[in-house]
Amino acid sequence: MATATQPQPPELLAERPQPIAPPSRRSRRRLWPLLGLTLGAVVFLFPFYYMVIGALQSEPNSDLSGAFPNPANLTLDNLRDINRAIDLPRTLLNSGIFTGGALLTTLVLGLLAGYALARLEFRGRGVVFNAMLLILIVPFQLLMIPLYVMIVRGYGLADSYLGMILPYAVNATAVFIFRQFFLQLPKELFESARLDGASELKILTRIAIPLAKPAILTAIIVTFIGPWNEFLWPFLVTKRLDLQPLAVALANFISTVAARQANPFGAILAGAVVLAVPAVVLFLAFQRHFVASNLGSGIKG
Amino acid sequence: MTAIATPATRRSLGRRLFGRQPLGYLFVAPYVVFLAAIFAYPLGFAAYISFHDYFFAAPGAIVERPFVGLQNYTDALADPVFRRAMLNVVIFLIINVPLTVAVGLVLATALNAAIPFRTFFRASYFVPYVTASVAVIGVWLWLFNSDGLVNNLLGPLAPDPSWLVNSLWAMPIIALFATWKQLGLYILLYLAALQNIPEELYEAAEVDGAGPVRRFRAITVPGVRPTTTLVVIAATITGANFFTEPYLLTGRGGPNGASVSPVLLMYTQGIEQGHAGYAAAIGVLLAIMVMAVSLVNRYLLERS
Amino acid sequence: MTNWRRRLHLAAALTLSLALAACGGGGGSSSTSEANTTRGPIKIWYSNNAEEVKWGESVVAAWNKDHANEQVTAEQIPAGKSSEEVIGASITAGNTPCLVFNTAPAAVPQFQKQGGLVALDSFGDGASYIQGRTGPRADQYKSPDGKFYQMPWKTNPVMIFYNKDVFAKAGLDTKNPPLKTYDEFLATAKTLVAKGGVKAAIWPAPSSEFFQPWFDFYPLFIAQTGKQLVENGEPQFAGPEGVAVAEFWKQLYDQGLAQRELYNGDAFGDKKAAMAIVGPWAIAVYGEKVKWGVVPIPTKDGKDPSQIQTFSDEKSSAMYSSCQNRATAWDFLKFATSEENDGSLLEMTGQMPMRTDVPTAFPAYLKSHPEYTLFAEQAARTVEVPNVPNSVEIWQTFRTAYSQAVIFGKADVQSAFNQAAEKVKTLAARS
């Protein structure tokens, strides 16, 4: 559990002598971790790099030398080919609607639920938490067909965005993330506010949510990945080509028996790169906010 | 925590019946409705069919689906393929979970520091997580091919038969792949959690002469305990349900079933061969195992 | 929270779900034979293969022009691994279209068991039309109850494609390559790998999907014996000929002439393999990329090519029980398989319609596309997967045994096949 010591008043901080390490030791201490990080980054990035290279090559080269391509072999044709085969803008839009819908409901309903599970005491709290865990535990393959029958027959939602979104509406992992995050905030924060007479709603909106920024950003990214990359469910629910998200269109493209492009592998990789880019961009945009904030300021005042 | 003695009569009946903050019901209600409307039926249905010789049929079709009690369960437990699949889950979890927690936290701590090119590094570790499995697996197939990059680098040390067709190495490679692919998410979770550890704690410890390792062990690790619980449970659950890797990477659980997973079995039995009841029994058994493991983990971790 | 309290909560959640489940389900649509005479708009599915889409659209457009009250709407589904899942799930939900072109014959027993298919015999001219169009081969597509739950539509009879450049490099005859008998084939394979600059002589997928035998073991088995995997409830593969085919493949694997690893991509197209077992669809795919030649499947002692049969890799069209306007559906099915539309299928996609008379009915096409002639002749001699209960599980059982004994050499072929045959026999007998 997070330990919350009383923050030192500014005067005391100023008096404390700051130890300064000699320059050589400081830079040497930084060198090894940096080297390790770089090595790790290479390992992690390499397959993606290879994907991008593959997407840009006009002739597939599956030998070792393919990792360092001949500049003459590079082309944007694969992108053009995949766009011809799959309507990229339309499918991207569908992916956006599908994922956006899930994001919206998760952020609103999931945050409320996560907060309640962590910081509001009510009987039956444990049951809800365990039900959430159960949903997380059960693999989708087990639920797939009854879920499909229920949504298509019972609710009549075939060929619709709502039918696609429903199982993803409140991402259980996001709820879990919110709950654990709110658990990590010091209990005193809430108790003192309650003692001061603040209503639960005010505590939620004035204290909990502003502090929850890292959790919200994390939940956004986590909730984004699922629907964005999901193939089987949206495909089951909708056969109309103008409703299908990019992941589905790409998977369909991969499975066509006669892949007629000059470089089918390249076209597939081009599609995969297009699929991955928005998620990376989202992450880049959000991670800027993951800079150490001073929690002490939350307790003061 | 201040202790104010509250006479028992002060607490209303409502409070005693529903808890201290019954507003929680309101907050959690939409989520509960969602769970009931979407998942209750399929979940209950799955449990129901696991006790029958069940297969999915067209509406209105008259078919026999007799009640068979626990037979699906006993069949599963007696099936050597299923037992191997469960063993593979254990192997997977033993490799994946500790690696994920350790490497995830260490990397997150490193990426939280003020290092040059921090954004680039953070992005690099995150990228595998968002890339579609289909594309990434192609690259791994190429890397671990019998004359792929890894074997070329290892030279005479390369195992023969090569990694993915080697009964001993197929599962560990899968576990490694999954760890690598998922790590971005857990680094993200830890990064978020690290934002909540007050900077002063580190500064105070540094002044007191604690080195970086000591600071890590004494401040960071306890400070992210709830997130560690989340990471362990999430990694356990995702890990036990691994499906894409044997499906795509080792040609349906090869070589010879050395890397089958329970979910792959559920897919081939339930969806391809139409034995929905048997697949449901496998699913229930798997869920029980995961619950048991998660319980143990949670107990160990939240005992503070 | 203590152990038992947690379990109590979970039990409560589960009981609640079970209660809800017990109320759910049920509610069927009537599938009476009166539907056989109803007319109206229908929906169909065909594969998303680019050429087939073109063909499908043209046929649908032609029909819709003349049938204002019986419009056909068409949707695409992938013809690949997931099409059976999609159809199976749709059957359960009751929202299958009237017709699905590209129904795999191996899936028909299961769809039939689910109550998802309409017996085409229930139409007056059902059986006669099918048998008239496809001839005696049509009997392979009957279900155990003697009825047609599928109409055989198109076939891609598999033969051996070989890369002429690689053969030339290895110093082998490119016009009449030595690929007729097992011994010849093995020797050629060795030369190819040694001197032809390829990693494998032939590279069928070594993975364990239930349908993989259709592209390695089964074509050779059919070429040698002309039999199905199971006939009259008896497994045929554990006999001396089946074992001989398996031992042939085993040699290829043991000598490194076929690879035990998956190739990510197309090994033949990427010139990593010198040969491939493919159907006429390959002509369009490899047309420019590879200088190819085609020969029949090898047999043990080199049979006369006009006697060699092969695997059909056929796709059927089926009518599904959720169809309301079955008269329209049946008429459309006959329209789509008329000689004219079969001809345009051949022209647009290069795939052979399941007609008795392909070489004679479409002479103009074959004259202008001589490369299809061999396939067209072979198309008259195809053998199908057996239409037996539990067919998918049977194929999976076979594949597991084959993978163990032949691909990875971990078991003796005869005993592995014997064990598999016992299990297959039980499965085929179960209903």
| Average pLDDT, rounded, for chain B | 86
pLDDT in tens, B46-55: 999 999 999 8
Residue C24: list chain A partners with CB under 8 A.
150, 154
Query: What are the beta bridge partners of residue C148?
Result: C142
| Average pLDDT, rounded, for chain C | 89
Q: Which of C15, C51, C54, C82 to mutate against chain A (most A CBs within 10 Å)?
A: C82
C285 to A77, A255, A257, C48, C292: CA distances (angstroms): 19, 14, 9, 16, 11
Query: CA C343 from chain center: how many Å?
Result: 21
Asked whether residue C359 carries a pLDDT value surpassing 90, the answer given is no
Q: Which of A31, A122, A127 to mutate against chain B (most B CBs within 10 Å)?
A: A122
Spatial contact of B275 and C390, defined as CB atoms under 8 Å apart: no
> Considering only CA atoms, which of C325, C337, C330, C320 is closest in space to residue C69?
C325
The CA dihedral of B64, B67, B73, B74, to the nearest 10 degrees, is -100
Residue B125: list chain A partners with CB under 8 A.
40-41, 44
C53 to A89, B136, C354: CA distances (angstroms): 22, 30, 19
Identify the burial level of C32 via C-beta atoms within 10 angstroms of its C-beta, where 0-12 means exposed, 13-18 middle and 19 or more buried: exposed
Asked if residue A203 and residue A287 are part of one domain, the reply reads yes
Q: Which pLDDT belongs to residue B103?
A: 93
Q: What is chain A's percent helix, strand, coil content, to nearest 5?
A: 75, 0, 25
Segment C133-149 shows an average pLDDT of 93
Domain range summary for chain B, segments of one domain joined by +: 82-136+170-273
d(CA C353, CA A34): 64
Q: Chain B 246-265, CB below 8 Å of chain C: which residues? A: 251-257
Residue B221: list chain A partners with CB under 8 A.
none
pLDDT in tens, B171-216: 999 999 999 999 999 998 898 888 888 888 888 888 888 888 888 8
pLDDT in tens, C262-308: 887 788 988 899 999 999 988 888 888 899 999 999 999 999 999 99
Query: CA A214 from chain center: how many Å?
Result: 12
Identify the burial level of A300 via C-beta atoms within 10 angstroms of its C-beta, where 0-12 means exposed, 13-18 middle and 19 or more buried: exposed
Q: Phi, psi (5° rounding) for residue C196?
A: -90, -5
Asked if residue A141 and residue A94 are part of one domain, the reply reads yes
Asked if residue A68 and residue A91 are part of one domain, the reply reads no
State which residues of chain A have pLDDT below 50.
1-18, 257-258, 294-301
Quick check: B299 contacting A, CB < 8 Å?
no
Spatial contact of C400 and C243, defined as CB atoms under 8 Å apart: no
Identify the burial level of B115 via C-beta atoms within 10 angstroms of its C-beta, where 0-12 means exposed, 13-18 middle and 19 or more buried: middle
Q: Which pLDDT belongs to residue A261?
A: 58
Asked if residue A67 and residue A123 are part of one domain, the reply reads no
Residue C393: list chain B partners with CB under 8 A.
273, 275
d(CA B110, CA B96): 20
Asked whether residue C248 carries a pLDDT value surpassing 80, the answer given is yes
Q: Which pLDDT belongs to residue A73?
A: 72
Q: Which helix (H) or strand (E) holds B191?
A: helix B170-194
Spatial contact of C133 and C356, defined as CB atoms under 8 Å apart: yes
Written as six digits, the tokens of A12 are 């005391």
Segment C384-409 shows an average pLDDT of 94
> Considering only CA atoms, which of C328, C409, A43, C151 is closest in space to residue B139?
A43
Task: Say if the Cβ atoms of B294 and A144 lie within 8 Å.
Answer: no
- The answer to whether residue A82 sits within a structural domain is no
Task: Say if the Cβ atoms of C113 and B274 lie within 8 Å.
Answer: yes
Asked if residue A253 and residue A140 are part of one domain, the reply reads yes
**Residue A52 structural domain:** 30-75
The architecture in CATH of the region C159-311+389-429 reads: 3-Layer(aba) Sandwich (3.40)
Residue A269: list chain C partners with CB under 8 A.
none
The CA dihedral of C232, C237, C240, C242, to the nearest 10 degrees, is 130
Query: What are the beta bridge partners of residue A57?
Result: A74
Whole-model pTM? 0.86
Closest chain C residue by Cα to residue A231: C82
d(CA C348, CA C358): 15
The Cα of C114 is separated from the nearest Cα of chain A by a number of Å equal to 14
Last residue of a domain, one of A75, A108, A128: A75
> Considering only CA atoms, which of C249, C154, C163, C167 is closest in space to residue C204?
C249
> Considering only CA atoms, which of C315, C378, C310, C376 is closest in space to residue C343?
C376
Task: Say if the Cβ atoms of C50 and A149 lie within 8 Å.
Answer: no
Closest chain A residue by Cα to residue C21: A146
Q: Which CATH number belongs to the domain containing residue A206 in this structure?
A: 1.10.3720.10
d(CA A225, CA A213): 19
d(CA C93, CA C381): 38
Asked if residue A279 and residue A144 are part of one domain, the reply reads yes
**Residue of C259, C264, C403 lying closest to B141 (CB–CB):** C264
- The answer to whether residue A102 sits within a structural domain is yes
> Considering only CA atoms, which of B295, B288, B286, B301 is closest in space to residue B92?
B286
Closest chain C residue by Cα to residue A258: C285
Q: Which of A100-104, C3-7, C372-376 has the lowest mean pLDDT?
A: C3-7
**Residue of A150, A236, A257 lying closest to C49 (CB–CB):** A257
Q: Which pLDDT belongs to residue C7?
A: 52
Identify the burial level of C184 via C-beta atoms within 10 angstroms of its C-beta, where 0-12 means exposed, 13-18 middle and 19 or more buried: middle
Pick the CATH number of C33-155+314-381 from 3.30.1180.20, 3.40.190.10, 1.10.260.40, 3.40.50.2300: 3.40.190.10
Q: What is the ipTM of this complex?
A: 0.84
d(CA B152, CA B162): 11
Per DSSP, the three-state class of C155 is strand
- Name residues whose C-beta falls within 8 Å of residue C149's C-beta, 6 or more positions apart in sequence: C108, C111, C112, C117, C118, C119, C120, C143, C318
Quick check: C431 contacting B, CB < 8 Å?
no
The architecture in CATH of the region B82-136+170-273 reads: Orthogonal Bundle (1.10)
pLDDT in tens, C196-235: 999 999 999 999 999 999 999 999 999 999 999 999 999 9
Asked whether residue C147 carries a pLDDT value surpassing 90, the answer given is yes
Asked if residue A93 and residue A69 are part of one domain, the reply reads no
Asked if residue A274 and residue A132 are part of one domain, the reply reads yes
Looking at C262-362, list the stretches that DSSP marks H as alpha helix, in order from N- to C-terminal side.
Answer: 281-286, 326-336, 339-349, 358-361
Q: Which pLDDT belongs to residue A65?
A: 61
State which residues of chain B have pLDDT below 70.
1-11, 14-15, 303-304
Asked whether residue C29 carries a pLDDT value surpassing 60, the answer given is no
- The answer to whether residue A17 sits within a structural domain is no
Q: Which helix (H) or strand (E) holds C19?
A: helix C3-23
Task: Say if the Cβ atoms of A183 and B23 lie within 8 Å.
Answer: no
Task: Say if the Cβ atoms of C89 and A235 lie within 8 Å.
Answer: no
Half-sphere exposure of A272 (CA within 13 A, CB side): 30
Residue A145: list chain C partners with CB under 8 A.
88-89, 92
Closest chain A residue by Cα to residue B151: A64
A242 to A235, B41, B298, C256, C351: CA distances (angstroms): 12, 30, 45, 47, 28
Helix axis angle for B276-301 and B80-112, nearest 10°, is 40
- Name residues whose C-beta falls within 8 Å of residue A49's C-beta, 6 or more positions apart in sequence: none
d(CA A215, CA B195): 10
d(CA C279, CA C53): 19
Q: How many domains does chain A have?
A: 2
Residue B193: list chain A partners with CB under 8 A.
181, 184, 214
Structural Rg of chain B based on CA atoms: 24
Asked if residue A120 and residue A38 are part of one domain, the reply reads no
> Considering only CA atoms, which of B254, B237, B253, B248 is closest in space to residue B93?
B237
Q: Phi, psi (5° rounding) for residue A74?
A: -85, 140
Domain range summary for chain C, segments of one domain joined by +: 33-155+314-381, 159-311+389-429
d(CA B169, CA C249): 25
Quick check: A256 contacting C, CB < 8 Å?
yes
Q: Which pLDDT belongs to residue C388?
A: 94
**Residue of A154, A272, A295 lying closest to B135 (CB–CB):** A272
- The answer to whether residue A155 sits within a structural domain is yes
d(CA A153, CA A146): 10
pLDDT in tens, C164-201: 999 999 999 999 999 999 999 999 999 999 999 999 99
Q: Chain A 21-40, CB below 8 Å of chain C: which residues? A: none
Task: Say if the Cβ atoms of A232 and C82 lie within 8 Å.
Answer: yes
